[in-house]
Chain A
Amino acid sequence: MLENLVFLLVVLPVLSAIALLCIKSVGLGKLVVTLTGVILAACSLALFAGGDFQFRPQSVLGVDPDSLITFLDFALLAVIMGIAAKLKSPLLIALALLQILPLGYFEFSLVKHAAAGPTLVADNLSLIMVLIVSIVGSLICIYGLGYMKEHEEHLHLAKTRQPRFFFFLLLFLGAMNGLVLSNSLAWVYFFWEVTTICSFALIGHDRTEIAKANAVRALWMNMLGGVAFVLALIAVYKASGTVLLSDLLAHPGGGASLALLAALFLLCFAGFTKAAQLPFQSWLCGAMVAPTPVSALLHSSTMVKAGVYLILRLAPAYAGTSLSSLIALFGAFTFLTTAGLAVSQSNGKKILAYSTIGNLGVIIACAGINTQASISAGVMLLIFHAISKALLFLCVGAIEQRIGSRDIEDMRGLIAVMPRTATLTVIGILTMLLPPFGVLLTKWMTIESAMASPLLVLILALGSALSVVFWARWAGLILSAPMPASAPAAEAQDASIRVPIQILAYGAILAGLASPLIYSSLAEPFVSLFYKGAAYDVSGGSFVNGVGAFSIYPLFLLLGAGFFYALRLARRIPAQAASAPYLCGEQTADVTQNVFRGPLGPVAATSSNFYLEAIFGEEVLTRWINVIAMTMLAVMFGGIL
């Protein structure tokens, strides 16, 4: 039963993906994608219900899994080498070689026999990731069906390229499931590289010059991580004679040997590149040229989460070392600087990209702080952020298709143009920003768990304050439409776009409401595997421990009641109460227009946000924060020696 579930979760998407390349009919293709999504979601729930497990599959489709993966590893690297050669890029060729040669050494000289333990292990962290990948991922794929149809009409494509698109999306889903369920680092490496290639293929999907350039940038930065991963494989094997995560984690803590610490650093480095932390953030920002489902799925909810998943998973192994403290500082620094960079951005997807990198930085900081409270916070932020950020990306994608722009200045007054989507976008923003929703809850948990290190708290506090700036102004300007004379027309939107957005919006709110339950059923069991004692007592519907308390149900009740009362009050305002904005008496007679009587004729009054480019602009900040980040990485590495 278990084996079948895992098969369905990992291999079925691959088979569906291959099938899509062969299917000609559009309708049948849609059916395959939808069915695969539904099956994945159902299986993930069934797998979760089954609880922790570990086993060693004997064969996959008749082949020994270890050999299959080794073969596919080299095949994949050969493909990458081919891409590198076609692009005539010495950097890519060098990085590919730097993976092929050590991998060859590892597989054929170093490893004497196949790993003896279970190669597929699931604890709550893996199961949470499977749930996120399968449910959120499936919703995004279904959204992609409607989105890509419109996208291709917009580009006036003669021949549809959707089969290729969904091939890589489904392949990616299978690879992610495999990645989080794998116990053998060699298997993790394989799935890791599959996600890299999927990302490369999907970023470059539209085949514009900028897409191709950004795809290459994503490729080599992720390959840097791949190189680190292979070297880590060798180091781990040399240090402990095993590449099984369960064995590594069975001996947690500081007495780790030099080789093992170096391996942990290299694995974390791979995680940093995958999660687009500084100084690698440019690949994620560049990846925003891809169609929105790609941004939502790979570059906010799942692929980049693979990086932080690995760092969280390894946290018990480096607990108590100086590496851990430096990782915490590194994550917090990324959070602060990307929050600042987001303040300077008016491109909606870039704001979301920087916010994603920042939140991943918070998860990494949680992993670095390495206490039961902080790891709980990290795991929960993983969940809440995946839902809210996917929601926001899907909304921005739908908005972009409707108004033709992703600049937030063009989204002023969107609530009159696209009432439902605009409302759900504002809901998404508020779930990222305000209590009692989950993202804020985990921010609170992180700050409280960091209290032993005031420097960390300072950085987190500054980052948090900066994030209020760019979220609040975006939410506000979406709402700036005049009072409608009559009820606005229902927004016309394809069901496959509308339904995933609605499900994610309700999901984000419900997840916030259910946060005590999420903690006790999802996070706490995982944390208690490796850390002594429960972080919080959630029995009263609040998160309480010796250091602080966060009431969930009372806050939801009171703030929710206040909000709904306010909404009722506001809805009853008559149309006569509408007045033009104050323009010093020079407004024109039409109260719905923001136009004033200028000396030569009517002038539209416009204003824009303060972007503070002189302080937070990319040109201003990027160089020196990259230098600082690289210095931190160097210190991390040197600190091990």
Chain B
Amino acid sequence: MTSKFLFALVLVVAAPFVGGLITGIDRKITARLQSRFGPPILQPFYDVLKLLGKDRMVVNLWQALCPVVYLVSSALCVFLFGLQHDLLLIFFVLTVGSVFLVMGAMAAPSPYSQIGAQRELLQMLAYEPLLILVFVSFSMVTGSFKIADVYAYGKPLLPQLPLMFIVLGYVLTIKLRKSPFDISACHHAHQEIVRGVLTEYSGPGLALIEIAHWFDVVLVLGLCSLFWSTSWLGVAILLACTYFLELVIDNITARMTWRWMLKNALGVGLALSVLNIVWQSFNN
């Protein structure tokens, strides 16, 4: 019990650094895929440090309050993940952060912020059912929603739940704000409705959102790692391949519309989930 607690603490402390590094490597590889050199790997840290030093500029106090709550809830999710807690609980704590991010954006009356917030809600609508279905598929194999039982299961889940991994890939793409699902705000500087849901956040608030995003990256990659929970090498290869595939997809697709996202992420994701869950129920 205490060892899990210590591990979870270490994870929470290390996660922003790991997440930032992953984001930096992301930008570097993306640049290379685009025949560029790209920024140094530590660039996300420079970005966050610079943002922390900016003067405060807010429309009202919610743009300052909500990023803190978003950060706390994302960090809490990683902590719960480290404790090998209940997956569904982690999912619901994740929604705390997302809801506060949306609330902060809606609290600013700029049209860009408002539309960005609506699109962010639709993104949540697209990935939340898929994430719950991934957890349900876990529970069908391991018998419970607890992460500890995934590790106790002793066998990798990917062979039994291949389609669920693809579904988790949809969730990862949306969470990472990558094309074609970067509909409310892109994680690059691509603009459509200026910066969408992030438009009115600035300075320290934006820095905290970026750090919370790193926690989210670590969390979703952690969820991906549960598909091959038996070996560190397997996890490393799986995550590396998955992330590289995400980068490739990001670079070869354009941003699509929310209608397309609902049809193709939620719709296709539901279909794949139903298929895999039905297969699994034949096995049970």
A interface residues (Cβ-Cβ under 8 A, vs B):
412-413, 430, 433-435, 440, 443-444, 447-448, 451, 454, 457-458, 461-462, 464-466, 468-469, 471-473, 475-477, 479-483, 546-551, 555, 558-559, 561-563, 565-567, 569-571, 573-574, 577-583, 594, 605-607, 609-610
**Is there contact, CB below 8 Å, between B62 and A482?**
no
A-B pairs with beta carbons under 8 A, tally: 210
- B-chain residues with CB within 8 Å of residue A577 when the two chains form the complex: 55-58
Residues of B94-133 contacting chain A, CB below 8 A: 95-96, 99, 102-115, 117-118, 121-122, 124-125, 128-129, 132-133
Cross-chain pairs A/B with CB under 8 angstroms, 30 sampled: A435-B89, A435-B96, A451-B145, A458-B273, A461-B128, A465-B129, A468-B99, A469-B125, A472-B103, A472-B121, A473-B106, A475-B103, A476-B102, A479-B60, A479-B107, A480-B107, A547-B143, A547-B146, A549-B85, A549-B86, A550-B86, A573-B64, A574-B56, A581-B110, A581-B200, A582-B200, A594-B109, A605-B111, A607-B109, A607-B111
**Is there contact, CB below 8 Å, between A480 and B65?**
no
Q: How many residues of B contact A (CB 8 A)?
A: 65
| A605-B110 contact, Cβ under 8 Å, with A448-B88, A468-B99, A579-B59 | yes
- B-chain residues with CB within 8 Å of residue A468 when the two chains form the complex: 95, 99, 121, 124-125, 128
B interface residues (Cβ-Cβ under 8 A, vs A):
55-62, 64-66, 68-69, 71-73, 76, 85-86, 88-89, 92-93, 95-96, 99, 102-115, 117-118, 121-122, 124-125, 128-129, 132-133, 136, 139-140, 143-146, 194, 199-200, 270, 273-274, 277, 281
Which of B56, B108, B109, B200 has the largest number of chain A CB atoms within 10 A?
B109
Partner of A548, one of B89, B103, B273: B89
Q: Which residue of B lies closest to A440 (CB)?
A: B92
**Is there contact, CB below 8 Å, between B65 and A566?**
yes
| A465-B65 contact, Cβ under 8 Å, with A482-B59, A573-B56, A607-B111 | no
**Is there contact, CB below 8 Å, between B68 and A562?**
yes
**Is there contact, CB below 8 Å, between B133 and A562?**
no
**Is there contact, CB below 8 Å, between A479 and B89?**
no
**Is there contact, CB below 8 Å, between B68 and A547?**
no
Which of B92, B199, B270 has the largest number of chain A CB atoms within 10 A?
B92
Q: How far apart sit A57 and B92, CA to CA, in the bound complex (Å)? A: 48
**Is there contact, CB below 8 Å, between A464 and B132?**
yes
- B-chain residues with CB within 8 Å of residue A440 when the two chains form the complex: 92
Report the 5 A-B pairs with minimum CB-CB distance, sorted nearest first.
A476-B106, A562-B72, A581-B110, A566-B68, A461-B132
**Is there contact, CB below 8 Å, between A562 and B73?**
yes
| A481-B144 contact, Cβ under 8 Å, with A435-B93, A582-B112 | no
Partner of B62, one of A479, A594, A607, A610: A479
Q: Which residue of B lies closest to A462 (CB)?
A: B129
Q: How far apart sit A148 and B128, CA to CA, in the bound complex (Å)? A: 42
Q: How far apart sit A549 and B99, CA to CA, in the bound complex (Å)? A: 22
Q: How far apart sit A151 and B93, CA to CA, in the bound complex (Å)? A: 41
**Is there contact, CB below 8 Å, between A559 and B65?**
no
**Is there contact, CB below 8 Å, between A457 and B121?**
no
Q: How far apart sit A466 and B95, CA to CA, in the bound complex (Å)? A: 13
Q: Which residue of A lies closest to B277 (CB)?
A: A454
| A559-B96 contact, Cβ under 8 Å, with A458-B270, A458-B273, A566-B68 | yes
| A565-B118 contact, Cβ under 8 Å, with A468-B128, A550-B89 | no
